[in-house]
Amino acid sequence: MNYDLIVVGSGPGGYVAAIRASQLGLKVGVVERAELGGICLNWGCIPTKSLLKSAQVYEYMKHAGDYGLAVEGEIKPDFEKVVARSRGVAEKMSGGIQYLFKKNKIDVINGFGKLAGNKTIEVTAQDGSKSTYEAKHIILATGARSRELSNLPQDGKKIIGYRKALTLEKLPKSMIVVGSGAIGSEFAYFYSTMGTKVTLVEFMPTILPIEDEEVSKQMGRSFKKNKIKVMTHSTVESVEGVEGDLKVNIKNKKGEMEVHECEIVLSAVGIAPNTEGIGLEEIGVATENGRVVVDDYYQTNIEGVYAIGDIVKGPALAHVASAEGICCVEKIAGMKVEPIDYTTIPGCTYTVPEVASMGMTEKAAKEAGYELKIGKFPFSASGKASASGANEGFVKLIFDAKYGELLGAHMVGANVTEMIAELVTARKLETTGHELIKAIHPHPTMSEAIMEAAAAAYDEVIHI
């Protein structure tokens, strides 16, 4: 069957691209070898948020007395049910994609897709049978997987990646998490809250190393408060043992070797793009450092072949892949499209407290030569945060002193992942610091801290 568009992969890049293309009148097929929705819906974003919500509710229950509530009897997690709930949420979301595909008349082609010449996809089904499909346009949206280190090979039992961490059969007594990006930090928080003794090992000087330094330091303090042992400037050199606890050899910040014992090692050292075996070399698609080279509209060097999401340069985030998919198909459909502005991409980490950021860090802005106005407002001065019992953290805004342009926003605190969109919109609309100050924010809300942080940058802050 011939298509206007075939999308290889049904993650948040692929399925969104397919639906938007169908809305624009294209006949669309999607090739998927596993569950609809890809890693994000099934083994990433969605099930992890379910686990984290269970941890948050458990934490609330343990501190019910702080809110004047008496809870009788012992409060303890049922780990098996927590995991089962997260799987149920993921399955429901994947089913939702099935519904959307049917609604938009999108064909699902089950199997492993591979470029097979001029505008042709070869699909290998689970039984090994092969079929070929033709399309005027082909979008590769094959996503990524957990990256493995040579000295930390994953066996899926004692040394695991994020996927196995979602479905452990029982709560481990101890765990070493290697890597403190969003994935590592979220699992460190979850397992620590559930009762696991957690050590977080990070090669860089701070945890969450891509975040603003002040945010990283605040999260380090919060993790230590939650009894997570944080080791920065440290590396896991090797792991020994098969039965019983593992012996993990860690080189600390002083260059000294420490031996730590744990039940499970979780490797969270980033992701690797799924570009192997999909026919890139055979038809001559250009790659660089393992990722597909594309233009501003995700066209590769081969006419009619496009790539989006984790297999191209840029932040490996679900919402980025979705935006790239929409941009790509709208360009294919002949619409006038603006290239994506990657300086407005928000990043979120769903620990407690949460982290959300957009744009330049203070260090990056200074290195770029800007003269800065920086405003910071602590949630300890927020009435809503105090009433909620969640006054850790702050909002930090970075402005260009000359024109008042918002260069960056960095937040740590309760619900900040819901607040960052305001600042993405503000930057997109070229809103100035003074305009943020004059935009009336509702009281009492956590979002007032945005207005107050802007006011702090211009020495107009009221509440600190």
pLDDT in tens, 359-386: 999 999 999 999 999 999 999 999 999 9
Give pTM, 2 decimals: 0.94
Known binding residues: 49, 113, 179-186, 202, 270, 310
CB atoms within 10 A of CB 4: 18
Q: How confident is the model at residue 242 (pLDDT cuts 50, 70, 90)?
A: low
Q: Which amino acid is at 381?
A: A
Q: Among residues 201, 188, 205, which one has the least CA distance to residue 149? A: 201
Do residues 146 and 313 lie in contact, with contact meaning Cβ atoms separated by under 8 Å? no
Q: Is 319 an annotated catalytic residue?
A: no
pLDDT of residue 376: 98
- Nearest CA-CA partner of 354 in 392, 322, 324, 385: 392
Return d(Cα 49, Cα 89) in angstroms, integer: 10
How far is residue 445 from each of residues 72, 196, 250, 381, 414, measured CA to CA in Å? Answer: 32, 34, 43, 12, 11
Of 63, 441, 443, 463, which one is the catalytic site residue?
A: 443
Q: Which amino acid is at 243?
A: E
Q: How many C-beta neighbours within 10 Å does residue 7 have?
A: 35
Quickly list DSSP for 406-443: EEEEEEEETTHHHHHHHHHHHHHTT-BHHHHHHSPPPS
Query: Going from the N-terminus, what domains does the chain have, and what CATH number goes with each?
Result: 2-146+272-342 (3.50.50.60), 159-269 (3.50.50.60), 353-457 (3.30.390.30)
Mean pLDDT for all residues in the chain: 95
Whole-number pLDDT of residue 244:
81
Please give the DSSP secondary-structure letter assigned to residue 152: B
Known binding-site residues for NAD(+) equal 179-186, 202, 270
Helices 45-62 and 79-103, axial angle in degrees (round to 10): 140
Task: Write the CA distances from 318 to 5, 40, 398, 410, integer angstroms.
Answer: 21, 7, 26, 20
State the Cα angle at 125 between 122 and 127, rounded to 5°: 140
- End-to-end, the C-alpha distance of the chain in Å comes to 66
Distance CA 329, CA 379 (A): 42
Residue 243 has pLDDT above 80, yes or no: no
User: What are the structure tokens assigned to 77, written together?
Assistant: 């997690």
Q: What is the pLDDT of residue 3?
A: 97
Going by C-alpha positions, the residue among 282, 180, 265, 272 that lies closest to residue 224 is 180
CA distance 192 to 226: 7
**pLDDT tens, residue by residue, 187-231:** 999 999 999 999 999 999 999 999 999 999 999 999 999 999 999
**72 pLDDT above the threshold of 90:** no
Q: Please state the separation of Cα 398 from the chain's center in Å.
A: 23
In this prediction, residue 111 has a pLDDT band, given cuts at 50, 70 and 90, of very high
Helix or strand (DSSP H, E) at 85:
helix 79-103
